[in-house]
Amino acid sequence: MTEFRNPDAVAKMRADFARQGAMSAMGISVADVVPGRVVLEMPFNPDFTQHHGFMHAGVITTAMDSACGFAAFTLMEEGAEVLTVEFKSTFMSPAAGDHFRFEGEIVKSGRTLTFTQGRAIAIKDGTEKTIAMLTATMMAVRGLT
Amino acid sequence: MTEFRNPDAVAKMRADFARQGAMSAMGISVADVVPGRVVLEMPFNPDFTQHHGFMHAGVITTAMDSACGFAAFTLMEEGAEVLTVEFKSTFMSPAAGDHFRFEGEIVKSGRTLTFTQGRAIAIKDGTEKTIAMLTATMMAVRGLT
Amino acid sequence: MTEFRNPDAVAKMRADFARQGAMSAMGISVADVVPGRVVLEMPFNPDFTQHHGFMHAGVITTAMDSACGFAAFTLMEEGAEVLTVEFKSTFMSPAAGDHFRFEGEIVKSGRTLTFTQGRAIAIKDGTEKTIAMLTATMMAVRGLT
Amino acid sequence: MTEFRNPDAVAKMRADFARQGAMSAMGISVADVVPGRVVLEMPFNPDFTQHHGFMHAGVITTAMDSACGFAAFTLMEEGAEVLTVEFKSTFMSPAAGDHFRFEGEIVKSGRTLTFTQGRAIAIKDGTEKTIAMLTATMMAVRGLT
């Protein structure tokens, strides 16, 4: 089983999450954290829709990016910070739902680069549907803050 | 010179933009619209940062996606709506600046799919820096609303 | 269980594969086909290396793209042809191995667009390693040939 | 004007290109090299088509990837080798033409990562058409060979 390299990783991750203004502004919270995997969730938020009333693709992406970035962070060494290098987001269905879940996980963790993948699930009347997927490259940086 | 296929495209685009909750919530506004090209802008917004105090990569992407989606829309036929199929966003530099500009333009406009590219420019003390770029596939859909 | 929409899909797919000059030139063959999933394989080919002696990233991508394109094709309606709209390929490890396997599968199949994902596995002395992953958007076109 | 950091960069690049089996197998050659930009070319090659007779999307991508990788290499320090981290390739039109040109250029060159973009142009009866575009992240590695 995968283990944390930094015993303070989860505490540090939750503290960093709390400092992400974008997460609280959008109503996104942490649902679960294990080494190499982070799950976030968000209720439908009418303040962040696009013009057909669905959640904006960029907001769905913001949540998947955060889930993947924090997943990458869980296996980084002490003193490293995580920055997003790039991601690709694919939208299979419009983001309609009462509630959304965002899963981010590591595909391969390296010293400098970590490769991750994520997905967004819309929940409507108890039925789940994968509406988007993301692959992201994350980078460990030192001395950023 | 490229011309609009739908004479009401700009008025419709501005009305759709006004209905995008995500744009007003993030403080993003329209700076310029010509056929096939849309420019948006946003002042630095402390409510949408990541945990190092930079603008969140997802927020920068949301703005580039909107610029590209609306750029695609400017050349669509009457009655068509635009949805994002997928995009890739690359982050060359952290999103530090007083003000940000987002340019979206069409690379190729087709009946069903429109290919676009965008970039994000950070402005700090009058100096401009390209901090991110995006390529996005947009789809014309009918009967959505 | 997923079923074919076109009873001739596998026969048509294998005939199309046989007509792909690029596949025979690179030594890529079909290992398995089920509805929505195609597996290809290729022995290490010294004619298609990059300059460090690994298989070229573009060749690995060509094989993943074909696996995904043919996977998408398996669920298309009669008379439809498949074209690649876009893909993103991520390289987790250099393509070193005696033999390579490429898996392509459908994430969501629609009338016009099909979303797929694939991966490349290198096999060396019996040990398997995922070296690359791909997400691709495929499009059904009619009247192409 | 951009200058080379390594005075032997072009000679090294051309030697590396000559060692890429995939380039000679596909009939791809170097047309131009300046600091931060590489142009490759290829005549139509019936051995590397897909099943409708167009050049295979993966082959077009292989050439764009090489153009971008070598462009990144031109500005790397002595002793560094270049590996592709990831790329996204978008196909605007089928790859039909007598001849193809592939342009790769640096968007931002960093010590570890270099961001590049490329495009593929098909030439038919003297008329040029951009058929595909690519964005790629390249990584400088040391001690690879």
- pLDDT per position as a tens digit, C8-59: 888 999 999 999 889 999 999 999 999 999 999 999 999 999 888 999 999 9
D48–C22 C-beta distance less than 8 A: yes
C134/chain B closest Cα distance in angstroms: 13
Q: Which residues of D touch A85 (CB under 8 A)?
A: 85, 113, 137
- What pLDDT, on the 0 to 100 scale, is given for residue A52? 87
**Which position has the token pair 């419009």?**
A94
Q: Do A87 and A137 form a contact (C-beta atoms < 8 A)?
A: yes
C88–A108 C-beta distance less than 8 A: no
- What pLDDT, on the 0 to 100 scale, is given for residue C35? 93
B16–A25 C-beta distance less than 8 A: no
**ipTM of this complex > 0.85?**
yes
**pLDDT single digits (tens) B60-91:** 999 999 999 999 999 999 999 999 999 999 99
- What pLDDT, on the 0 to 100 scale, is given for residue C145? 57
Partner B contacted by A144 (CB < 8 A): yes
H helices then E strands: how many in chain A? 3, 6
Question: How many whole angstroms from its chain centre is CA D9?
Answer: 16
Partner C contacted by A85 (CB < 8 A): no
Q: Which residues of B touch A19 (CB under 8 A)?
A: 51
- What pLDDT, on the 0 to 100 scale, is given for residue C144? 67
Q: Which residues of B touch A20 (CB under 8 A)?
A: 49-51, 56
DSSP string covering C65-129: HHHHHHHHHHTSPTTEEEEEEEEEEEESS----SEEEEEEEEEEE-SSEEEEEEEEEEEETTEEE
- What pLDDT, on the 0 to 100 scale, is given for residue C108? 97
Angle of CA points B80, B85, B87, to nearest 5°: 130
Q: Is the pLDDT of residue B145 over 60?
A: no
The domain limits of chain D are 9-142
- What pLDDT, on the 0 to 100 scale, is given for residue D2? 72
Chain C partners (3+ C-beta pairs within 8 A): A, B, D
Q: Is the pLDDT of residue C102 over 60?
A: yes
Task: Locate the chain B residue with the closest alpha carbon to A137.
Answer: B90
- What pLDDT, on the 0 to 100 scale, is given for residue B144? 67
C1/chain D closest Cα distance in angstroms: 29
**To the nearest whole number, what is the mean pLDDT of chain B?**
93
**To the nearest whole number, what is the mean pLDDT of chain C?**
93
Partner B contacted by A3 (CB < 8 A): no
C86–B113 C-beta distance less than 8 A: no
Partner C contacted by B113 (CB < 8 A): yes
- What pLDDT, on the 0 to 100 scale, is given for residue C4? 76
Beta bridge partners of B83: B139
Q: Is the pLDDT of residue D113 over 70?
A: yes
Residue B69 DSSP label:
H
Partner B contacted by A47 (CB < 8 A): yes
pLDDT-above-90 percentage for chain D: 81
Q: Which of B52, B56, B57 is opposite residue A81, by nearest beta carbon? A: B52
- What pLDDT, on the 0 to 100 scale, is given for residue B3? 76
Task: Locate the chain A residue with the closest alpha carbon to B94.
Answer: A83
Contacts of B52 (CB under 8 A, 6+ apart): A81, A144, A145, B94
Among B51, B94, B47, B95, which residue's Cα sits nearest to residue A13?
B51
pLDDT confidence bin for D3, thresholds 50/70/90: confident
The predicted model scores a pTM of 0.95
Averages of pLDDT over each 10 residues, chain A, 145 residues: 77 91 95 96 95 93 97 93 96 96 97 97 97 98 77
CATH classification (class only), D9-142: alpha beta
H helices then E strands: how many in chain B? 3, 6
CA distance D113 to D125: 39
Backbone dihedral region for residue D126 (phi beyond 0: left; psi -120 to 50: alpha; all else: beta)? left
**pLDDT single digits (tens) C73-97:** 999 998 999 999 999 999 999 999 9
- What pLDDT, on the 0 to 100 scale, is given for residue A69? 97
Q: Do A61 and A132 form a contact (C-beta atoms < 8 A)?
A: yes
Amino acid letter for position B16: D
- What pLDDT, on the 0 to 100 scale, is given for residue D144? 67
Across the range D45-65, mean pLDDT stands at 94
- What pLDDT, on the 0 to 100 scale, is given for residue B8? 85
Chain D partners (3+ C-beta pairs within 8 A): A, B, C
